[in-house]
Structure 1
Amino acid sequence: MGNCLKAQCPDGAVYAASTTKDAAGPAHGATGSAADGGADVAADAAAEYDAYGEEDEYAAGPGASAAPEPGNTDVEAAYIRWGELGPPCSMLSDDLPDWRFELDASKWKSYTLEDSIVLDRFMEAFRKKQAIEEDPPRLAKVRLLRKECIVDLQALTCQVGDSRPRKLQRHAVKSGWLSNRYFFEAFKAALAGSGVTVDAHPEEMFDFRFNQDFRNLADDGRKLMRGGQPYQLPLGWKRFAVNVKGQYDDGDNKWLKEDDSGWAVAYHGTTGEGLTGILCTGFRVGDRQKFENDTGAGIYCTPLIDVAQHYSKPKKYQGHTVQIVLQLRVKPSAIKHITDSSATPFEKKYWVINNPAHIRAYGVLIRELSLLDYVPPEVMVYGKSNPHVQKILKELIDEHEANK
């Protein structure tokens, strides 16, 4: 696997390197059904990107020129072919590419991470040709933010249709402590604690292109739906995408659709050890379930991240105490609600899925949370004054002190 392209460029090109991200830019990974919720962000970016296809008063930057129309051998020679591209950058890199286009004068918008990786591969191919050829091909035909584009890798511009070329920039985004590398090392450590050794490459198990960072997003009031059920974004968490495309239903990915034809979104709190079994062998129906007479035996989940997180006790790894919650898709017709009169309001927020085949994990959510801030589910069900709950809370305080 190759390394991410370093910030180098032809003289005079706009090719800035930065360790920060514009507030206007969408979070990386906000694209496609494998990053559910991210597509809503990507759709917003694509809507603004539609301005590419309209004439306006914005003048192209220095060195920019309209891309030649393909159609003859001489013109085609100006294009870099997909078959000439090298491998994508390692998703375990501490610096990931963040390509941006100029939406308006001095206003920049980020492409998705998947698009940025594609642009990196074309730029690397261009630079290699530039080093050995007098007049190397400089154009690339790519699809960015759902638009067919012509990218001029020398002038660093992008053009949609007959619109004016727009300037491009490349920045490098620092992953911070909750990087793909940290996540995968923590994942392997959790599996090792259960006696499981991971020999697979991380990208065989996870598709990091579709990660979504919700830690700095705020609720904008939009009501989202998936599979006919309300979808609560996991605000405050970072999601690492499980590699699930093509893994079910003979490769049919309709269950990942982001409309009523897809499956509903739910959450399942777990420990690192529990994560091991679920991702390796799938969900299993447990014995002696509290509401079995009401709903039948099944797997418990909830559409509310704030409920699921109570079942994920934080665990310390490499200096950070983190919670883990699985993001799921569940078959809408399989959802059973708890109606038992003995259930507390908290317990009535659960869903029960009887058939394990009707519940699929497609994302691993992580956030940092101190043991002192963690509220175990027993508090929500029985109350703080319960003697057993008091004992649990005392144990959490003792564990926190021991971890200092």
Structure 2
Amino acid sequence: MSAVDREVVLEALSTLLQTTVKPYSGLKEKSGELNIVNFLAIAFGKHIDYVLSQQDTVAGFISDVRHEMFVDMDEFFDPRFDFDFTNISDNSICMRGNEPYKRPCGWYRFALKVLDKYPDGNAWLGKDGWRSYSVAGEWPVSYHGTSIEGARGIIKSHYKAGPRELYGRGIYSTYDIEQASGYSREFTSKKNGKKYRVLMQNRINPVMRTVCDRKDYWLIEVPEGSSPTVEKEIVEKSIRPYGILLKEV
């Protein structure tokens, strides 16, 4: 990751979290640390007050989230799996988890360091590298925007269930990058003056998702009246971000 890339991706994280994100450089205390575990807990500023009200270890990490956070770039990102789709334009028919995979052409993916982070192993990611076919155990790819119009918040290390909308109560994502782009956040880089959109690229558990009447939307259903603990359990085993996507606009 070049120096310019590091600056821009920090701005992208700041946009997603709606707070200033700075590189972590040997702080004595880890208050305000951003890591893979708490990333989704604070990816929506509207729900920061809710997160801070919870008595758990996540709240301990983000006591000053309104002002700034610190990230260890080497522990948060995995540049071995970055991929530049910006100049790719193809109509290849690819499958992931036995569902269509529309590659994010026109975007750049910064990979998150998710290998060996889940107790069920890494099969959900499938095999690395270009391929047109699915492999056993992998989950389909979905995209999720985090604008206020497109989601209702992300809390406590998982996507927060939204109100009853469109087809049911829960978390919506889509395999169609163009649909997701409409719900992306935008920012203008102070480093290079360019304007970008930012999205999250995920894998979604095929057993847990429902295909909506509109086939390009998938729903992780969260029953109304579920406790925060149950919501957390449902979503943690249903959807897993593995990349941050940037596109110059």
TM-score tier (shorter)? 0.5 to 0.7
- TM-score if structure 1 supplies the norm length? 0.41
* Structure 2 residue 210 is matched with structure 1 residue 336: yes
Report the secondary structure of 1:308's partner residue.
helix
Q: What's the counterpart of residue 198 of structure 1?
A: 69
Give the Cα separation in 2 of the matches to 1:306 and 1:249.
32
Q: Which residue matches 1:244?
A: 114
Alignment partners' CA distance in 1, 2:182 and 2:15? 22
Which is higher, the Rg of structure 1 or of structure 2? 1
Question: Deviating runs (4+, > 3 A) in structure 1?
Answer: 188-191, 277-280
Find the counterpart in structure 1 of residue 243 from structure 2. Answer: 363
Whichever residue aligns with residue 327 of structure 1, its letter is Q
Higher fraction of helix: 1
Q: How far apart in 2 are the matches of 1:283 and 1:360?
A: 9
**For 2:16 and 2:212, how far apart are their aligned partners in 1?**
32
Q: Equivalent residue for 1:308?
A: 180
How far has the Cα of 1:256 moved from its partner?
A: 0.7
Residues 192-231 of structure 1 aligned to structure 2 (within 5 Å): 192=19, 194=45, 195=66, 197-219=68-90, 221-231=91-101
| Aligned residue pair count | 181
Residue 163 of structure 1 corresponds to none
Aligned to 1:182: 8
Residue 366 of structure 1 aligns to which amino acid in structure 2? L
Q: How far is the alpha carbon of 1:202 from its aligned partner?
A: 1.2
SS in 2 for 1:332: coil
User: Counterpart of 2:200?
Assistant: 326
Structure 1 gap ranges (5+): 1-90, 95-176, 340-346, 370-404
Percent identical pairs in the alignment equals 36
Q: Distance in 1 between matches of 2:203 and 2:106?
A: 20
More contact order relative to length (CA 8 Å, sep ≥ 6): 2
> What's the Cα RMSD here?
2.6
How far apart, CA to CA, are the structure 2 residues paired with 1:189 and 1:285?
21
Q: Which runs of 5+ in 2 are unaligned?
A: 21-44, 46-65, 128-134, 222-233
Matches within 5 A, 1:142-153: none
Q: What is the identity, as a one-letter code, of the residue corresponding to 1:360?
A: R
